[in-house]
Amino acid sequence: MITLNTEICSEEAASLSREWIETNGIGGYASGTVGGAASRRYHGVLVAATDPPVGRAVLLSKLEETLIVGDERFELSADRFPGVVRPSGFRHLVEFKLDPYPVWIFSAGGVKLEKRVVMVNGENTTATKWTRLDGPEASLAVRPLLAYRDHHHLRVSHDLDVRFDEAAGRVSFEPTHVYPRLDLLHNAVSAQATGYWYRDFEYSIEQERGFDYREDLYQPLELGFGLDVPAFVVASTDRSEIISAVEVDAMFRSETRRRAEVVAAARVTPGVMTDLTLAADQFIVSRGGGKTVIAGYHWFSDWGRDTMIALPGLTLAANRPEIAKSILAEFAQHISMGMLPNRFPDAGEAPEYNTVDATLWYFEAIRQYLDRTGDEAFVMSELFDRLVEIIDWHVRGTRYSIKVDTDGLLSAGEEGVQLTWMDAKVGDRVITPRIGKPVEIQALWFNALCVMSDLAVRAGPDALAERYSRMASIARENFNGQFWDQETGCLVDVVNGDTADRSIRPNQIFAVSLHHCMLADEHARKVVDKVESELLTDLGLRSLAPADPAYVPHYTGGPEERDSAYHQGTVWAWLMGPFVDAYARTHTADETRTLAARVESAVEQHLRDAMVGQVSEIFDADAPFAPKGCAAQAWSVAELLRVLSVYSS
């Protein structure tokens, strides 16, 4: 259980800078700040996945709450308007915790009031429950605020045409446009139509990010509750039948039990490992009849690269191999011209195939799945032929000039296209184009060939295994000849013809960290030492060395400024995984345990500092390393969980 005390909860900056999130296993979510004032366009009580796992829409933005004790009214909500935060209900907030879902404890007018929020797994349903724990008789007024919009957009006009029908125990909102019907199921003792517009909500993080940040929301009615029994509101696009308090309690119990089973299956120790296991669960969602991974909340959908990198940590480290199997099988259905899709767009269009590394990470994910499960039957019968097809496409050439060169190394890239994980682009300008032979792509290609050689031995004939082994040997020999830089004592980042990019970047760590390593021990140790001295922070690796003229210390400003800084120093948490693997390969077990303990301590603090219970995508490159970017990132959680499960004492 992660708990925030009164000092944090009741202070404006502390409570409004910390976020929470609930997810439903199909791409939908509920999210907000601990203190109550939304800071992102993505915050909402019910953000429904209308075309799971995408098509996400903010239907119910907020529930404004007022506690009434005698003649006194205590506002428990908070909102940011131009120049003011009003009301400031966090002044009454004495505790926030994840137990395992978000729980708030308020104290006002002698009343101690508990609020709980949970999403039902597999449904676009959010349940909110208020319970008077102590104090005199009291009542509660709840005012729903509707947005009815795509989660990337804002409602800035009053053309919301929603008809609602109020019956005992239910309020139904029927829009006249593309979004689904929303039902609020409740046990209110009164309902009063209002029809008010609340104007100029301000979302501070959107303002910081250089986006539109003001929104108007519609309040259709006010619900009144007595608190002699717990009050509840269930917002849903999947349920319309009036429900009882017993059924609402069952929602909370069911989700508590499901999450307890996730933790029990993982067999992790209480504390950070349990927290990371629960965080990992939030990214695993359904796509069709299979499973996939939401790359990050709030704005990412499922990406091939992120999914394959995150798969071992999210599933195998959490002892959920059946989900890993489902994801591997699902992505096999989307292979095209020897490539895995880079992204499934949020609007549900055709997948995009603009990546060189997602496909190569697929081999490593399969290798780890096979090592963990021994499920040779599945890998050989359903995946092996597809892997052979992938190698063949890469040899003869596929999209974006991805092709094996005469030296056995993998070349890729065209002007105006970003194919590696360093994929920031401003207009038509690719910030880190990395055309030619990026270092981590060679490491991944060599690893894939070695994996295929091992698999081909199982499949026969021997000639196929020998072919892959020979290709791997040629790649390794030419890699060491072209990429080792005596001047810097490490690997260059990209080779393109006769030129080499000698920027000190973290990409070289994969030449040491991957299961099949291309380097001799001496060079492997030098790579790790260089990355440690230039790039390592407590929560990840810098994307560029501070001494580089292109280094950007802070990820801030509008979209162009931020994209220009994205891989120019910014710290990435997911890179801590391969760094610890590489460190373990080149250091003693005791030294590795010491490093793992340092990482675990930093993670424990971070789990309470930004998105509570989650790990951010990125951090500023300079101290104090403020968390930035996506508030909850799949591969950040996955790689930390994976390496800590192996190396933490």
Question: Which of these three, 215, 242, 259, is where a domain ends?
Answer: 259
Q: Are residues 332 and 232 in the same domain?
A: no
The CA-based diameter of the chain, rounded to the nearest angstrom, is: 86
The secondary structure element, H or E, covering residue 454 is helix 439-459
CATH of the domain at 375: 1.50.10.10
Is 147 a residue whose pLDDT tops 80? yes
Q: Are 145 and 198 in contact (CB under 8 A)?
A: yes
For the chain, how many structural domains are there in total? 2
Task: Copy the structure tokens of residue 101.
Answer: 């879902």
Q: What are phi and psi of 437, to 5 degrees?
A: -130, 85
Strand 182-186 versus strand 170-175 pairing type = antiparallel
Q: Are residues 254 and 272 in the same domain?
A: no
> Which band of pLDDT confidence, cut at 50, 70 and 90, is reported for residue 1?
confident
What's the burial of 19, exposed, middle or buried (CB within 10 Å: 0-12/13-18/19+)? buried
Distance CA 346, CA 50 (A): 11
> Which band of pLDDT confidence, cut at 50, 70 and 90, is reported for residue 349?
confident
Distance CA 105, CA 91 (A): 11
Question: Which of these three, 234, 259, 284, is where a domain ends?
Answer: 259
Tokens 């790790």 label which residue? 528
Distance CA 477, CA 426 (A): 37
Q: Mean of the pLDDT values across residues 370-377? A: 98
| pLDDT tens per residue across span 105-140 | 999 999 999 999 999 999 999 999 999 999 999 999
Q: Are residues 45 and 138 in the same domain?
A: yes
Task: Output the pLDDT for position 445.
Answer: 98
Is 472 a residue whose pLDDT tops 90? yes
Question: Which of these three, 200, 225, 259, is where a domain ends?
Answer: 259
Q: Are residues 30 and 91 in the same domain?
A: yes
Q: Are residues 373 and 327 in the same domain?
A: yes
CA–CA distances in Å: residue 397 to residues 304, 390, 420, 440, 484: 20, 10, 17, 19, 26
Task: Output the pLDDT for position 110.
Answer: 98
> Which residues make Cβ contacts (< 8 Å) with residue 335, sequence separation at least 6?
359, 386, 389, 390
Q: What is the mean pLDDT of the chain?
A: 96
Q: Are residues 13 and 91 in the same domain?
A: yes
Task: Copy the structure tokens of residue 164.
Answer: 């609602």
The secondary structure element, H or E, covering residue 163 is strand 162-167
Task: Copy the structure tokens of residue 129.
Answer: 């429950």
Q: Mean of the pLDDT values across residues 305-328? A: 97
CATH of the domain at 185: 2.70.98
Q: Are residues 209 and 289 in the same domain?
A: no
Residue 89 domain boundaries: 2-259
User: What is the pTM assigned to this prediction?
Assistant: 0.96
DSSP 315: I
> Which band of pLDDT confidence, cut at 50, 70 and 90, is reported for residue 235?
very high
Q: Mean of the pLDDT values across residues 583-612? A: 97
Q: Mean of the pLDDT values across residues 516-526? A: 97
Which of 284, 215, 259, 230 has its CA nearest to residue 27?
284
Task: Output the pLDDT for position 348.
Answer: 60
Task: Output the pLDDT for position 488.
Answer: 94
Strand partners, 430: 425
Taken in order 430, 435, 438, 441, the sign of the CA dihedral is positive
The secondary structure element, H or E, covering residue 411 is strand 410-411
Which of 395, 434, 398, 442 has its CA nearest to residue 417?
434
Q: Are residues 233 and 291 in the same domain?
A: no
Task: Output the pLDDT for position 346.
Answer: 65
Q: Are residues 370 and 467 in the same domain?
A: yes
Distance CA 649, CA 643 (A): 11
Q: Are residues 208 and 291 in the same domain?
A: no
CA contacts within 13 A on the Cβ side of 391: 26
What's the burial of 122, exposed, middle or buried (CB within 10 Å: 0-12/13-18/19+)? middle
Q: Are 47 and 59 in contact (CB under 8 A)?
A: yes
Task: Output the pLDDT for position 161.
Answer: 76
Peptide bond into 351 cis (omega under 30): no
> Which band of pLDDT confidence, cut at 50, 70 and 90, is reported for residue 347?
low
Task: Output the pLDDT for position 649.
Answer: 73
Q: Are residues 479 and 583 in the same domain?
A: yes
Tokens 């790990």 label which residue? 615
Q: Mean of the pLDDT values across residues 491-511? A: 97
| pLDDT tens per residue across span 31-68 | 999 999 999 999 999 999 999 999 999 999 999 999 99
Q: Mean of the pLDDT values across residues 570-592? A: 98
Task: Output the pLDDT for position 159.
Answer: 77
SS (H, E, C) 270-295: CCHHHHHHHHHHCCEEEECCEEEECC
Task: Output the pLDDT for position 555.
Answer: 97
Q: Mean of the pLDDT values across residues 83-101? A: 97
The one-letter code for the residue type at 66 is T
Q: Are residues 176 and 281 in the same domain?
A: no
> Which band of pLDDT confidence, cut at 50, 70 and 90, is reported for residue 178?
confident
Q: Mean of the pLDDT values across residues 314-333? A: 96
Peptide bond into 461 cis (omega under 30): yes
Q: Mean of the pLDDT values across residues 288-292? A: 88
The one-letter code for the residue type at 86 is R
